[in-house]
Structure 1
């Protein structure tokens, strides 16, 4: 009797999967009615769920599991895949031909794994638009990861251990719109690193060890609208650093080592940029005239204006910069 009951259950399950053309869903996963979207988020999952995975799957998310290995043959089981999210798993390496069987893939998110080294050509077999490698253990970025004239518009390498990003890698990304290099160990940018990123709109360099920037750093990124430079070690900025960035809307400079801003840095725009300037050791003397006047004219464009305070001289310590007078700054002769 038990055997007959088991057979009956198997038949019923198979009928349920095949009814109206629907597909079975892998264990420890949930699937849309069509089977095109699959989400696997159980920590007990340790292997890629090839069994019962529909060949019509277009979106696959495996998140917060114990998955440690993924192969080319795994992904070849879902040849129509266009979005693959593999975040917060246990992946330590990827095969160089991983994406060969998914020629339609345009989005790959590998956030929060344990990737250290990636092989050449690992992202060269499909026209990716978005690549996220956030919060891994990557120490070196390699130009050989990607093909020439890559289709990427979004690249996120934040939260890794990079000390340098080679110009050769960025030169392969002429269509890039968003670049996130925050929370690494970058000490400088190569002189020509951004020269071919003519369509770049958002650049995040926060949380690194940058102490200076060249005057021409952003000369070839005229479409920049957001620039994040906070939490670095910047001590001074070139007066012409932002020259030509007519579309810049937001600039974050908080938590650096800036003592003054050079005259003209923030430019004259029809719509002044929004800035954050807190957490810098501003020295409130005659060299503060430019920033003091800019704050007075554009107070509505400064987040946390009351926290932009003097670190010196002693007589003005902890005073709000915007509250100072010409006399206090030594501007009256």
Structure 2
């Protein structure tokens, strides 16, 4: 009789709480094979007590500082692993060997810096987020050849350069976020392997110029973010191949002029798809191209009236769209 009572209690616990066991500081949801561990008191990876059939595991806002291949072996069916806002300082090589089905790995907000060779091999990752860490160099040796990644977020790190060899391992990328780093240049051939790329974010870097051919292979690109850099000059044919581009953000750079023909290939821009605000534009004869383009494409521009002149002093603060042709060519 007592054994039946124990069994009934266990079954009741299973149906009410979704699992027969669950680590401390964690909640286990058997119906969707998900475990969520939330809270600073957790100091070690909770491998003991994790349901073996777990497919989604979130460990966030804890004091965990290490993780091993053996830890992950406790959940061989894992498909998504979210480890944001912990204290991880490094990762072991081959640590994904025990979770071959893993497709999403989020390591946002840790203290990762130097990562070992083969750190992201053994699992067919499609989404990798390394946002807001301390990474100084993106190493091609992290990945296998022909990686299946379609989404890579390296924003908020300390990158000063991005190597072509690194991106050659990632031919299936559709989204690449390199914003909020310290990039000073994008090598001309570095983006060539990314023929499937649809979204590229380079905001908040230190880019002062771009090679004319840097985007030439990105025929599927829909979104390009270049705001908050130090761009002072761009080649007139920079966007020549970006005929599918829907959104382009050049806000808050150091552009004095928009070269003739620069915006002509961008026939796919959506309404409010272009942002050129907060640039120190010189409204002289060289600005006539931009002035005419804005007259014909005002609906494609986000806050077109916010595109203003910096020089000459007589036109400072004037919206480019409000000018007359005689303002740009006063001697004619």
Q: Tell whether the structures are fold-level matches, with TM greater than 0.5.
A: yes
Indicate yes or no: 2:171 matched with 1:174. Answer: yes
Match in the other structure for 2:20: 23
CA contact (8 A) 1:257 1:280 kept: yes
Residue deviations 1:14-67 (CA, integer Å, cap 9, x gap): 554556994322211112133610111112111111222000000001111111
- C-alpha separation between the residues in 2 aligned to 1:68 and 1:159? 20
Match in the other structure for 1:4: none
Shift of 1:12: 7.8
Indicate yes or no: 2:237 matched with 1:263. Answer: no
Secondary structure of residue in 2 paired with 1:279: coil
Q: 2:248 aligns with which of 230, 235, 251?
A: 251
Q: What TM-score does the superposition give when structure 2 sets the normalisation length? A: 0.94
- C-alpha separation between the residues in 2 aligned to 1:122 and 1:146? 7
Match in the other structure for 2:221: 224
Indicate yes or no: 2:34 matched with 1:37. Answer: yes
Match in the other structure for 2:74: 77
Match in the other structure for 1:185: 182
Match in the other structure for 1:61: 58
Shift of 1:304: 2.0
Indicate yes or no: 2:121 matched with 1:129. Answer: no
Q: What TM-score does the superposition give when structure 1 sets the normalisation length? A: 0.93
Shift of 1:70: 0.8
Match in the other structure for 1:194: 191
- C-alpha separation between the residues in 2 aligned to 1:13 and 1:186? 59
Shift of 1:293: 1.0
- C-alpha separation between the residues in 2 aligned to 1:174 and 1:272? 25
Gaps of 5+ in 1: 1-8
Q: Evaluate the alpha carbon distance shift between residue 31 and residue 310 of structure 1 in structure 2; reply closer, same or farther with a 3 A threshold.
A: same
Shift of 1:272: 3.5
Q: Evaluate the alpha carbon distance shift between residue 14 and residue 239 of structure 1 in structure 2; reply closer, same or farther with a 3 A threshold.
A: same
- C-alpha separation between the residues in 2 aligned to 1:70 and 1:145? 17
Secondary structure of residue in 2 paired with 1:315: helix
Match in the other structure for 1:154: 151
Match in the other structure for 2:99: 102
Match in the other structure for 1:283: 282
Runs of 4+ in 1 over 6 A off after TM superposition: 9-13
- Coordinate RMSD, CA, aligned: 2.1
- C-alpha separation between the residues in 1 aligned to 2:20 and 2:130? 31
Residue deviations 1:170-221 (CA, integer Å, cap 9, x gap): 0111111000000000000122100111000000000000000011001111
Match in the other structure for 2:293: 294
